């Protein structure tokens, strides 16, 4: 069984991938840990120079030095001291091959991909013998870990801190349209068409009653208002389905409630089948709006 499954070298200031080991093993938890590496690598500048993320069977370890961070995904059975021995060996090898200026001037991902052969040799050494390979001794690392224990990283806090630092806060109603929702489904298209039909019927009846409402009592004015409010709510339901919005659930139920109330007011002007049609269309639109989720964008840090 492999104790060290994946190794990753990144630049601290911006999380630029410099090199990574070839991935020969594929399991769900390993892919999850590699996804977590993407989150961590974007936040290294604000983290301690040594840290760990605990998983079920696989843990993440990293150490940073001279603007470069060395990261690994290791099996939980590998002692912490040996995991950091591996990272120290990795650091020795990397700094011996590449100078600080080369790291600073790197402009594209994985400029030192040839370093993978060295990573594979170190991984093989540790996976076969479980011990240090180069300049680092286990006793030195154990003593250093007792003096400076690695920071235990909470990924939820890291993701939140990184998002706020880069302006990726909870979207406001003004910025919601920039988020990409899941593709529109055939039931969604049907809902939009029916909503447009309902909106058209409401505005036509409302405009038709305006002339009579002017000459009639207040009851006619309220009927016109009910038709026009229902028209606005139908149009708003279409917009809410098509575009992302904050507090979508609250807005969806508010619009549904408003349509139900407006049609209750129009009980004398519409028969039971017409009222049922308008309320059913509004209910379908509400359900589909709540079911349509934000489409996750892939992270831009290639691991």
Per-residue pLDDT reduced to its tens digit, 78-97: 889 888 999 998 999 999 99
In the block, tokens 């999850």 appear at: 32
Q: What is the mean pLDDT of the chain?
A: 81
Contact 52, 38 (CB under 8 A): no
The pLDDT value given to residue 144: 87
The pLDDT value given to residue 216: 57
Q: What confidence category does residue 178 fall into, taking pLDDT thresholds of 50, 70 and 90? A: very low
The pLDDT value given to residue 63: 92
User: Which of the pair, 211 or 266, is modelled with greater confidence?
Assistant: 266
At 65 the three-state DSSP class reads: strand
Q: What confidence category does residue 131 fall into, taking pLDDT thresholds of 50, 70 and 90? A: low
CA 251 to the chain's CA centroid: 23
What Cα–Cα distance (Å) separates residue 153 from each residue in 59, 77, 141, 291?
11, 19, 20, 33
At 219 the three-state DSSP class reads: helix
Per-residue pLDDT reduced to its tens digit, 227-243: 889 899 999 999 988 88
232, with CB counted inside 10 A (0-12, 13-18, 19+), is middle
The pLDDT value given to residue 234: 92
- HSE on the CB side for 109, CA within 13 Å? 9
Contact 180, 297 (CB under 8 A): yes
Helix (H) / strand (E) containing 41? helix 28-41
User: Which of the pair, 134 or 143, is modelled with greater confidence?
Assistant: 143
Contact 86, 2 (CB under 8 A): no
Kindly tell me if the per-residue pLDDT of 295 is higher than 70: no
Provide mean pLDDT across the span 164-183. 48
Contact 179, 294 (CB under 8 A): yes
The verdict on pTM exceeding 0.75 is no
Provide mean pLDDT across the span 290-298. 69
Percent of the chain with pLDDT over 70: 82
Helix (H) / strand (E) containing 53? strand 50-53
The pLDDT value given to residue 177: 40
**Phi, psi (deg, nearest 5) at residue 63:** -140, 140
Report the relative pairing of strands 4-11 and 58-65 from DSSP bridges.
unpaired
Kindly tell me if the per-residue pLDDT of 166 is higher than 50: no
């Amino acid at each position: 069984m492999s104790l060290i499954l994946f190794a990753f070298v990144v630049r601290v200031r911006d999380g630029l991938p410099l090199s990574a080991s070839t991935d020969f093993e594929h399991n769900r938890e390993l892919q999850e840990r590699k996804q977590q590496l993407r989150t961590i690598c974007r936040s290294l500048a604000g983290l301690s120079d040594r840290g760990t993320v605990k998983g079920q069977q696989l843990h993440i370890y990293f150490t940073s030095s001279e603007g470069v961070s060395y990261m690994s995904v290791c099996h939980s059975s590998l002692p912490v001291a040996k995991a950091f021995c591996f990272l120290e060996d990795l650091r020795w090898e990397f700094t011996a091959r590449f100078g600080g200026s080369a790291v600073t001037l790197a402009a594209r991902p994985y400029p030192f991909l040839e370093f993978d052969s060295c990573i594979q040799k170190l991984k093989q050494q540790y996976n076969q013998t479980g011990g240090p390979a180069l300049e680092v001794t286990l006793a030195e690392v154990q003593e250093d870990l007792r003096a400076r224990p690695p920071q235990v990283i909470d990924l939820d806090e890291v993701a939140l801190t990184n998002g706020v630092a880069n302006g990726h806060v909870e979207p406001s109603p003004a910025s919601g349209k920039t988020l990409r929702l899941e593709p529109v489904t055939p039931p969604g298209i049907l809902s939009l068409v029916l909503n447009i039909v309902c909106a058209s019927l409401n505005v036509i009846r409302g405009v038709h009653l305006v002339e009579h409402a002017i000459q009639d009592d207040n009851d006619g004015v309220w009927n016109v208002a009910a038709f026009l409010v229902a028209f606005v709510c139908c149009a708003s339901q279409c917009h809410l389905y098509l575009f992302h919005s904050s507090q979508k659930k609250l807005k969806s139920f508010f619009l549904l409630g408003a349509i139900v109330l407006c049609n209750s007011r129009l009980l004398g002007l519409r028969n039971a089948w017409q009222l049922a049609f308008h309320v059913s269309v509004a209910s379908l639109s509400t359900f589909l709006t709540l079911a349509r989720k934000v489409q996750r964008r892939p992270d831009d840090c290639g691991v």
